[in-house]
Chain A
Amino acid sequence: MKQFSIPAVLTVTLVTLVGISLGEGINLYWQDVIMFMGINIILSASLNLVNGYMGEFSCGHAGFMAVGAYVSSLVSVALFTQSSLFGAPILSSGWAVPLFPLCLLAGMAAAAISGLLVAIPSFKTRGDYLAIITIAASFIIKSAIENIKPIGGARGFMGMGQVTAAMSGTADLPWMMFWVFLGVVFTIWILRRFVSSTYGKGILAISQDEIAAEIMSVNTNKMKIVAFMLSSGLAGLAGGLFAHKLGYVNPGSFTILKSTECLVMVYLGGMGSLSGSVLSAVVYTLMLEILRFVIPWINDLLRWAQLIPTDYQVTQIWKWVLIPLLLVLLMQFRPEGIMGRHELADYFPWIKKFYRFR
């Protein structure tokens, strides 16, 4: 029983999500919110590997996301669509569904390799200095993309809409919802297996005392390469999903602001807690959307209480006051984040009875 509970829950969730999207039980807007939630989960969980588990401070996550977004988009556009860059499609559109994971994989691989841009300097540099290197790496990636004319430069690259259209041609399903869901499961699966093994705990050892790790036979350089490549590879996966979800990408989506969003989610959830990362990505995405409705209510309330001048409107701009304010309060009163260093099962031991993680 125990070993089937997680696959069962996941299957039911997937079927429900696809089902209600198909039957328009939820409108397109909420479908988008759910997909962004998934992409944010991948981003925060993968960044947590470096910032939480390994104790480094990477603030260039968006750069790796950009590499994954562009490479997977280029591959899928070249394979399945008619484009000005690559000409006629290489494969018929029927291949779009079975081969789409390979496009994402290509993006992941490229992002993982670009992760070496940070991994190699990390051998000798740590802490604040490495943080600066990660920012520099993300700038390098972004300006490189901006200056490659064939892929659109600063204007961006499009054509992925046709790829998703090709998938819908095979079967009329909400494919991106499906892929995002698989991406999230894949991310959590791979990270959970990695950090719970003796091998993966080497990176925890590095975060807690790097010198002791090295002397206790942990190959710290190799572990850092593995951690950075895995983290940036998964960011690349998020990027690939993001690009195909939107149907276009441009370098402006992958600025320092995006990296900061990833950081915020990691710190909100708790360093070194996978369930925290999932939870915080959900909470953060929902918070952004819910404020859309809440702010007009606040406006009405304040107007009713005659606390604001009649010619003043509380607009959506206030979202960017309220969310940072929430972060200030969080850091003041619960600096370890929602979950701290713990997983859900540490707080609710009884749930362990219902599943077995493999």
Chain B
Amino acid sequence: MALLEIKDMNHAFGGIEAVAGFNLHLEGGELNGLIGPNGAGKTTIFNLVSGFYQPTGGQIFFRNTNTAGLKPHRITGLGLARTFQNIRLWPEMTVLDNIRVAHHYSLGYGFLACIFRTPTFLRREREVTTAAYEILESLNLKDFAQELPKNLPYGLRRIVEIARALATRPALLMLDEPAAGLTSADLQGLIDVIRMIHQTFQVTIWMIEHQMQVVMDLCQYIQCIDFGVTIAEGTPDQIQNNPAVIKAYLGDDTFQCC
């Protein structure tokens, strides 16, 4: 049983075909990359898989469930989490609350239980807090539990966002440019964190990344897309030497610059 199976996925914004015939098969346990020049359709693919857009063609199966028509929070509940290119933490809630709210999928109590403080409510609140502290501890963020994300340095916010995604207990974690905006000093730390998460949380990771250092260092298998079409796929070595990829990134050598 495959974890994620994408078959011939298409998506068009009006007349523009942002994604054309995209295929992917994740068995579970991989650490795969998705690269491509700006505007290639990488984030669109993530938005399609996480349920923000509905594909105009093709199918997505996550853990053998067809995700067509499911709201994003339902897909997250199935075990798929993602981060964003521009960090989207809740800036005015403490780091701990950020992590706790990400447990909504499994709260298991409703409004009335919350008002009457039923035993289920009290037990779940305790469990959620413990689980949140465990995640923070495993990523060395425990000292920042009571801080507001807006007061944290940028690199740390990235890690907190990944921690929040992990709070939904995903089987598949999709990282959208985790290294964007990081200094080269933060970069190695991020690589270590992602590798650690991949191993200790036993989560499949699928990431979009521009920083070649990160991609080549981490990913086992890489797909490269351009104008919505998959132009190459293979191991980091194969991708690095693929003429189509070089052409997509650096341009055609017949192209004359004025």
Contacts and interface: CB of A to CB of B under 8 A. Distances in A.
A233 B57 CA distance: 44
B119 to A, nearest CB: 14
B71 interface: yes
A190 interface: yes
Given A212-B84, A215-B73, A217-B76, A198 B103 contact: yes
A199 interface: yes
B125 A198 contact: yes
The interface centre, meaning the residue of B50, B91, B114 with most chain A CB atoms within 10 A of its CB, is B114
A219 B164 CA distance: 16
A358 B72 contact: no
B111 A218 contact: no
A170 interface: no
Interface string B142-181: 0000000000000000000000110110000000000000
A198 B100 contact: yes
A218 B117 contact: no
- Where chain A touches its partner, the secondary structure class is helix
A311 to B, nearest CB: 55
Interface in A35-88: none
Given A199-B109, A201-B93, A204-B93, A193 B102 contact: no
A202 B117 contact: no
Given A199-B107, A217-B104, A193 B92 contact: no
B227 interface: no
Contacts of B52: 211, 215
A197 interface: yes
A220 B105 CA distance: 12
Given A201-B97, A215-B76, A218-B101, A193 B114 contact: yes
The interface centre, meaning the residue of A200, A218, A358 with most chain B CB atoms within 10 A of its CB, is A218
Contacts of A139: none
Contacts of B18: none
B89 interface: yes
A208 B92 contact: yes
Contacts of A217: 73, 76-77, 102-105, 168
Contacts of B90: 204-205, 208-209, 212-213
B206 interface: no
Contacts of A327: none
10 contacts: A194-B115, A198-B125, A201-B101, A208-B92, A212-B88, A214-B73, A215-B52, A215-B76, A216-B168, A217-B168
Sort A-B residue pairs by CB-CB distance and give the 5 closest, nearest first.
A217-B105, A212-B88, A208-B90, A217-B76, A216-B102
